[in-house]
């Protein structure tokens, strides 16, 4: 398994996306997200997705030439129409206006609609926090989760991410997690590797617990904490679909399928200016110190350091390189 520089991962990814039909600036935005995910060990949102992006650029499930359009819906609400393109460039286009609105009003919402899957939601909330604002992000996905006690797929893994600025351009806290016990990508990676999955991750089509990833993919994933995770998943579903106009999970085809309609998903962000709080950084410092007072404990994401080189499986790297050399002609 070779060690590859994150810069090279960016270059190879950007070239592959351009060669499959994305505009250069669009490819750069998506490649940055891929490289960032790899740099912090988030493998399921990194190079693992590159082949799917390229295939769907060719099939038309994602438009690599889409020009995102910004609308100020109300005083504190910014909407970006991704026009069936990637989520990353749409977010980049809308973020400056959303931050301006949040600074003026103390709080703002940023809705990205008609977008491709955003993969790592924390990538986006981190950017907001690095600009000095609190960020809560939510999105939905293709259906794979049944209500507790049920067997029918209703919602997706519906991630939630939360990032907190430290007041100095860094991150005081960050979490990015699915509302299921585990992300769907962990199941598909286990299947590809021929490995079993832990008890409690998934149910088979009959609603029985399974350690077989193939049975899990035909069944449903388990909400984190049962009814608690189910509630958070529904919260994400309502806010995302309702506020962005994106599809509800039940109507979204499998995200990595080559053919089909565009994802038409949404991502919804709540952005808060800490300066609008009574004593934000004082209380954050106090809480951080209390958490750190016990040896071995920390705030989530507090000591995450992005790596400049990461190990990439040989077959995955070979695939990425081959995608960068292939050229698609329209």
pLDDT at 72: 86
For the stretch 258-288, pLDDT in tens is: 999 999 999 999 999 999 999 999 999 999 9
The angle formed by the CA atoms of residues 39, 42 and 44, to the nearest 5 degrees, is 130
3 state SS of 214: helix
pLDDT at 328: 74
3 state SS of 20: coil
For the stretch 24-80, pLDDT in tens is: 999 999 999 999 999 999 999 999 999 999 999 999 999 999 999 999 888 899 999
**Which residues of the chain are modeled with pLDDT < 50?**
none
Q: Can you read off the two tokens belonging to residue 269?
A: 């962000």
pLDDT at 330: 58
pLDDT at 329: 59
The angle formed by the CA atoms of residues 54, 157 and 98, to the nearest 5 degrees, is 75
- Taking the C-alpha atoms of residue 143 and residue 121, their distance in angstroms, rounded to an integer, is 18
Domains of the chain: 67-180+223-303 (3.30.1370.60)
Closest CA to 50 of 68, 66, 62, 40: 62
pLDDT at 183: 85
Q: Can you read off the two tokens belonging to residue 310?
A: 């990461």
Q: pTM higher than 0.85 for the full model?
A: yes
- Taking the C-alpha atoms of residue 256 and residue 259, their distance in angstroms, rounded to an integer, is 9
The DSSP string of 180-197 is: BSS-HHHHHHHHHHT---
């Amino acid at each position: 398994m070779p060690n590859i520089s994150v810069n090279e991962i960016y270059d190879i990814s950007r070239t592959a996306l351009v060669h499959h039909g994305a505009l250069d600036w669009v490819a750069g935005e998506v490649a940055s997200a891929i490289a960032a995910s790899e740099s912090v060990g988030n493998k399921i949102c990194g190079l693992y997705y590159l082949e799917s992006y390229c295939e769907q650029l060719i099939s038309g499930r994602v438009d690599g030439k889409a020009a995102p359009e910004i609308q100020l819906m109300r005083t504190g609400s910014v909407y970006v129409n991704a026009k069936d393109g990637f989520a990353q460039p749409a977010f980049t286009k809308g973020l400056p206006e959303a931050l301006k609105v949040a600074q003026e009003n103390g709080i703002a919402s940023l809705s990205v609609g008609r977008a491709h899957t955003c993969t790592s939601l924390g990538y986006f909330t981190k950017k907001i926090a690095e600009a000095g604002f609190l960020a809560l992000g939510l999105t939905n996905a293709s259906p794979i989760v049944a209500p507790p006690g049920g067997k029918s797929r209703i919602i997706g893994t519906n991630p939630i991410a939360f990032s907190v600025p430290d007041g100095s351009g860094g991150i005081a806290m960050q979490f990015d997690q699915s509302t299921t016990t585990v992300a769907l990508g962990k199941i598909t990676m286990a299947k590809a590797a021929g490995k079993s999955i832990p008890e409690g991750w998934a149910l088979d089509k009959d609603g029985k617990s399974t350690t077989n990833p193939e049975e899990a993919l035909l069944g449903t994933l388990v909400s984190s904490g049962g009814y608690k995770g189910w509630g958070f998943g529904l919260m994400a579903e309502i806010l995302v679909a309702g506020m962005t106009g994106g599809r509800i999970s039940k109507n979204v085809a499998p995200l990595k399928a080559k053919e089909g309609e565009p994802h038409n998903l949404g991502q919804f962000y709540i952005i808060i200016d800490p300066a609008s709080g009574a004593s934000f950084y004082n209380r954050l410092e106090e809480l951080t110190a209390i958490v750190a007072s016990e040896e071995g404990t920390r705030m989530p994401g507090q000591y995450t350091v992005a790596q400049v080189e990461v190990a990439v499986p040989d077959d995955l790297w070979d695939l990425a390189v081959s995608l960068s050399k292939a050229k698609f002609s329209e």
